[in-house]
Amino acid sequence: MTDSSEQKRIKEIRIRVDNESSPTFCLAKWHHVTMYLQSGETHSCYHPRPHKIPLAELKDNPSALHNTNEKKQERKLMLEGGKPVGCTYCWNIESMGSEYVSDRYIRNSSIFTEERFKETAKAAWDTNINPEYLEINFGNECNFKCGYCHPKYSTRFYNEIKEFGPVTSVVNHRCDIDWMTLYQREEENPYVDAFWKWWPELRKTLNIMRITGGEPLMHRSTWQVLDALDEDPLPELELNVNSNLGIKHSLVERLTEKVSRLIEGEKIGKFKLFTSMDTWGPRAEYIRTGLDLTVWEKNFHTYLTQTNSPITFMMTFNLLSVTTFKTLLEKILEWRKIYDWYDDPVNPQHRVRFDTPYLRDPIQYDMNILPKADFMPYMYESLKFMADNVDDKASDKFSSVEYDKFKRVVDYMEITVYTDEKLIEGRRDFYNWFNELDERRDTDMLSVFPELLPFYRLCQEINLTHPK
């Protein structure tokens, strides 16, 4: 396969960054930020764990929602060629060989400009930076309780843990809530207050703003942002919203009306909707408790028919995706036959898009605890399906970049070998977690995933011979 223009740009920027800054430099650490205001946490990429934003740092500097002292120390380390521990995902990908494209390379390429790169690489490490990309979570209210999520991101999950207590049968993902300080009401949250204090300055540098959750269409601050942009436009801004699309249809209709108003009035530059799916059918509904695919598809098609904006799937590739991921890939092509290119004459793109990051935590959902001999064939089948349907010029096929991204997931599963100790821990937690989850939620994992029965029995035996 020949390199696409996107692949060529990634390679070019990679060389520039390595030669003119540091071989571990990542623009995201400066110009990207994700903020979880309900818990007062932040990070600059979804791979490192979020860290706490000290309220004391916000007192005279609301930009400390992003520019925490901890993050500044990580920037200093990168400028010196060091590798922050939280960025291990990318270091693992890069250690596989120079032909592998880590998310660090992709992020550097996607937000690279001459001015931004030179200013950031030469700035003092402790300089306060207003980011060009903001991802913000105003609250944890959500109608789903996905198994690998956490109570601090979902009120339904939080209420389940309040009722049944933490999952004490596992080592990982016990979902304790006693240690957490969560602001349940946005109007009483000091982190939300700090955001609106920072907003007049923050909005000046933003190219992309992404509102996530929880379920953001259930958060009043989401609608407040949409109204603020209606009243005081940012014509160059790309606004993104994450939604599980399993919410009331009236909320999706309300969103389409507001998005159309903003776009048609040129009050923002672009709008993108992101949704989540890890496989298809009853298996998808099992992974994402609360998902009703009938409701989801109605909302999905309503949005795409009533707007000219794209939808991107965030596919959190996990153990339960492995055996039937191909079914979701088939649905992607089916939808692409219905919804053609995004209407951009300069750079036509799919309206139905997807990305395939893999899940590492909690370990009971990690694909690498599966026996390779039994489960790699499923991965090869999905990859071959993509390879057989790659065409960068066809609106109803996969792109070469999409293929490459999934190939690295397949390659990573193929070469990753855990220690016996880690496998024992992961498989023991798999057995105990899904037994307890099924009891709490009145579900039956093996009836939905019957092909996992031999693996389940293996995990059951490990639980007996190596109890927690």
Q: How far apart are CA 242 and CA 316, in angstroms?
A: 14
Contact 107, 26 (CB under 8 A): yes
The amino acid at residue 23 is P
Q: How far is CA 201 from CA 192, 198, 306, in A?
A: 15, 6, 33
**395: which DSSP letter?**
T
- Comparing CA positions, the residue from 78, 213, 64, 100 lying closest to residue 153 is 213
pLDDT recorded at residue 1 = 42
Residues 164-191: tens digit of each pLDDT: 999 999 999 999 998 888 998 899 999 9
Residue 206 CB: number of other CB atoms within 10 A? 18
Count of residues for the chain? 468
pLDDT over threshold 90, residue 101: no
pLDDT recorded at residue 120 = 87
Conformational region of residue 438, where left means phi above 0, alpha means psi within -120 to 50, and beta covers everything else? alpha
What does the mean pLDDT of the chain come to? Answer: 93
pLDDT over threshold 90, residue 457: yes
Instruction: Provide the pLDDT confidence category of residue 3 given band limits of 50, 70 and 90.
Output: low
Q: How far apart are CA 103 and CA 404, in angstroms?
A: 12
**What fold, for 136-373?**
TIM Barrel (3.20.20)
Burial readout 79-115 (b: 16 or more C-beta within 10 A, e: otherwise):
beeeebebbebbeebbeeeeebbbbbbbbbbbbbeee
Question: Average pLDDT of 45-59?
Answer: 93
Contact 1, 17 (CB under 8 A): no
Residues 121-158: tens digit of each pLDDT: 888 999 999 999 999 999 999 999 999 999 999 999 99
Q: How far apart are CA 140 and CA 182, in angstroms?
A: 9
Residues 267-278: tens digit of each pLDDT: 999 999 999 999
In the numeric block, which tokens belong to residue 406?
């999934």
pLDDT over threshold 90, residue 19: no
Measure CA of the first residue to CA of the last residue in the chain; give whole Å: 48
Per DSSP (E only), the strands in 284-390 are 311-314, 341-342, 349-350, 352-355
Q: Which H or E run includes 136?
A: strand 133-137
Residues 303-333: tens digit of each pLDDT: 999 998 899 999 999 999 999 999 999 999 9
Residue the block writes with tokens 């399906």: 385
pLDDT over threshold 70, residue 2: no
Q: How far apart are CA 441 and CA 160, in angstroms?
A: 9
Question: Average pLDDT of 213-221?
Answer: 95
Q: Give percent of the chain above pLDDT 90.
A: 81
pLDDT recorded at residue 38 = 95
Q: How far apart are CA 375 and CA 317, in angstroms?
A: 14
Instruction: Provide the pLDDT confidence category of residue 39 given band limits of 50, 70 and 90.
Output: very high
- Comparing CA positions, the residue from 291, 283, 276, 280 lying closest to residue 452 is 283
pLDDT recorded at residue 90 = 92
Residues 371-420: tens digit of each pLDDT: 999 999 999 999 999 999 999 989 999 999 999 999 999 999 999 999 99
For 441, list phi and psi in degrees, rounded to 5.
Answer: -105, 5
- Domain limits, the chain: 5-129, 136-373, 418-468
DSSP letters along 173-187, please? -----TT------GG
pTM of the model: 0.84
Contact 221, 186 (CB under 8 A): yes
